[in-house]
Chains A and B, each alone.
Chain A
Amino acid sequence: DAKTTQPNSMESNEEEPVHLPCNHSTISGTDYIHWYRQLPSQGPEYVIHGLTSNVNNRMASLAIAEDRKSSTLILHRATLRDAAVYYCILRRNSGGSNYKLTFGKGTLLTVNP
């Protein structure tokens, strides 16, 4: 899997937007960009994924650079419950099954009240 680079930690205030960056300069044309997060003492949970176009869902938005070498996860209004480690992961669509998730170190997001 291609490598991703994320800041180790970020801080935000409650009810403010948060932009979590991810660099993936070696991304290939068939790599999907996935974001997962892990709340304290819980298993990881899916947040969002995209290929080329920006994506929105009830949890977040994903902004993908035109050259796809970077992406940004946007939490529109951070809440205390959003405090977690956020992982940016590339998954290659090369046929076959059982695509594993290769987790990096992620970004620890702290949300201040």
Chain B
Amino acid sequence: DTAVSQTPKYLVTQMGNDKSIKCEQNLGHDTMYWYKQDSKKFLKIMFSYNNKELIINETVPNRFSPKSPDKAHLNLHINSLELGDSAVYFCASTPSGGATDTQYFGPGTRLTVL
């Protein structure tokens, strides 16, 4: 069973389009995250949700809107896609977000904006 899953794995789209990436975790965790890994391989946190409530928003453009319909899901919707949004997006989850908690990452979604 996959602990943290993301769909789609690959996403190729045109500039200006709107797209969504879905994330689901079956670990019963309370906290979920979105990270972005750019072409230089730097991994940066974008958002964090705890029990469906937004906790961390790391100055991400408001074209990015996370949505958490329940504790097990954290989706990422991106409006008006730009070339600079091309990256690999990772979803992660953790039991409660504490300093000793392990974060479990999904396999990533490679977004290419043409």
A residues whose Cβ falls under 8 Å from a Cβ of B: 30, 32, 36, 38, 41-46, 49, 85, 87, 91-94, 97-103, 105
Contact A98 B41 (CB under 8 A): no
Does B50 sit at the interface, judged by CB under 8 A? Answer: yes
Knowing A43-B107, A98-B55 are in contact, say whether A103-B98 is a contact too (CB < 8 A).
no
Min Cβ gap B91→A in Å is 8
Contact A45 B105 (CB under 8 A): yes
In the complex, A36→B37 CA distance in Å?
15
The dominant DSSP class at the A interface is loop
Identify the closest chain A residue to B30 (Cβ).
Answer: A97
Does B60 sit at the interface, judged by CB under 8 A? Answer: no
User: Number of B interface residues, CB 8 Å?
Assistant: 30
Question: Which of chain B's residues have a CB closer than 8 A to the CB of A101?
Answer: 35, 43, 45, 103
Contact A44 B105 (CB under 8 A): yes
Contact B50 A46 (CB under 8 A): no
Question: Which of chain A's residues have a CB closer than 8 A to the CB of B35?
Answer: 101
In the complex, A41→B108 CA distance in Å?
8
For this complex, 20 residue pairs linking A to B, each with C-beta atoms less than 8 Å apart, are A30-B99, A32-B99, A41-B108, A42-B107, A43-B92, A44-B90, A45-B105, A46-B103, A49-B100, A91-B99, A93-B98, A94-B99, A97-B30, A97-B55, A98-B31, A98-B48, A100-B45, A101-B35, A101-B45, A103-B42
